[in-house]
Amino acid sequence: MNTVVLAAQDPTLADFGKDPWWLVLGKIVFAFAFGLLATLLGVWFERRVVGRMAVRPGPNQVGPFGLLQTLADGLKMAFKEDILPRAADKVVFFFAPTISVISAVTALSVIPFGPSVSIFGHWTPLQVTDVPVAVLVILACSSMGVYGIVLGGWASGSTYPLLGGLRSSAQMISYEVAMGLSIVAVFMTAGTMSTSGIVAAQGDATRLSIGGFELPTPGWYAILLLPSFIIFFIAMVGETNRAPFDLPEAESELVAGFMTEYSSLKFALFMLSEYVAMVSMSAVTTTLFLGGWRAPWPITLWSGANDGWWPMLWFFGKVILLVFVFVWLRGTLPRLRYDQFMRFGWKVLLPINLVWILVLAGLRSIEDWQTRDRLLVTAVGAGVLLLATLFWPSRKKQPKPSPQEQADSRPYGSFPLPPMDLQVPPSPRTKRVVAEREPANVVAGSESREV
């Protein structure tokens, strides 16, 4: 009987679509409330953590521990004057912030918050819905969110917002590819694109057979697929426009980026979409790589750790930990230059991801081989990869010409340069005569005396 209950704890695709309408509505309201409440607490959490890192208190006046400061800021934004630029496209300018918010909140619909539980006599998963391609739904929502930024920058009718919107589109193209490829490793290992199925696949520990002995290893893909987890997290920070990858805003270069012309509630919606996206992507990372709602290792020694409503506590704890990492990055790392950001995405993350997927596919294809053959093939592959890394041709740096050579190579008629030795000869027109002065308390003449 105990085995049947434990098996029912893991939702499957067959468990969805059977709930009454009031239960479905309750799940939708819960997911939406979770996004909004997490945003309010996330803003307070970020300001408090960054304040502590900067050795200052942060918000601590409005409400206990300053918890109502974000609510007060939201009310202040609501009563501010709503300014509409004269050259703006009114319809697109109005709907652009809502696109970003809706896309960020929709991603929470396929996130499993917990196992199957009993709610007023109905056995139902703690998840709004699930489909065989749920992870692709998350990627689609992440891609749609950039439309709000691009359209908001274009509809403002100003140069700086347009540049910020174009930067966001280039940023999405660069890092959406790396994010999608990092999830391919999860598909290959779990054998499904369903979020509930991926969480269930991480429930059992993987066993490695070495020398006739079976060694249990952690089931979390953050450990088994460590390169994919690192690449996914870096790409996720770039997708959510968070520091050090907040180039669409770039206050030091583009004022406030795509939000320059926005004010009042429209500005609040853009701000809301950023924090909802941060929380939703933290939930996605928890689902794909950190075991979802399953308890971490020391807590799993308790037999009821993954039963009932307790898994929601482990899920929210992991999400808060990832949000703290977001805040930590903002408080410690400076913003990257635009060319550095693009180069890092295309020339570092993408090649590493492709090589890692190739290696993982090779390891998956030899799983059914004998232990001796697997070790031999793995050793040969590792040796080839090591030799290729050691003897990979590197680009030789061209010798930098001296300042005199650079000056000699300039075309005829160029602007004149100062002397290379930085010693400017004195001009004959500005001869300076330095007169010798007597002390102020001494009167000139032979009968001088002190006054």
Report residue 81 as tokens. 């004057």
Q: Give the 3-state secondary structure of residue 212.
A: coil
Within 256-397, residue ranges assigned H as helices are 264-289, 297-300, 310-332, 338-344, 350-365, 371-390
pLDDT in tens, 407-449: 778 888 777 776 666 666 666 665 554 444 555 555 555 554 5
Q: In the chain, what percentage of residues exceed pLDDT 70?
A: 83
* pLDDT for residue 35 is more than 70: yes
Helices 69-78 & 21-53, crossing angle to 10 degrees?
100
- Taking the C-alpha atoms of residue 168 and residue 156, their distance in angstroms, rounded to an integer, is 15
* pLDDT for residue 80 is more than 70: yes
- Taking the C-alpha atoms of residue 224 and residue 202, their distance in angstroms, rounded to an integer, is 10
Q: Is the pTM of the predicted complex or chain greater than 0.85?
A: no
Query: Where do we find the tokens 């750790």?
Result: 305
Q: Give the 3-state secondary structure of residue 427.
A: coil
pLDDT in tens, 107-157: 899 999 988 888 888 888 889 989 899 999 998 888 888 888 888 888 888
In this prediction, residue 8 carries a pLDDT of 42
Confidence bin at 212 (pLDDT 50/70/90): low
- Whole-number mean pLDDT of the chain? 81
In this prediction, residue 217 carries a pLDDT of 64
| Whole-Å CA distances, 232 to 129, 201, 282, 332, 351 | 24, 19, 11, 20, 14
* pLDDT for residue 370 is more than 90: no
In this prediction, residue 321 carries a pLDDT of 93
In this prediction, residue 213 carries a pLDDT of 60
Residue 108 · residue 128 · CB < 8 Å: yes
| Whole-Å CA distances, 303 to 113, 206, 297 | 20, 19, 12
pLDDT in tens, 170-204: 887 788 888 888 999 898 888 889 999 899 888 87
In this prediction, residue 3 carries a pLDDT of 36
Report residue 372 as tokens. 């001796």
In this prediction, residue 335 carries a pLDDT of 81
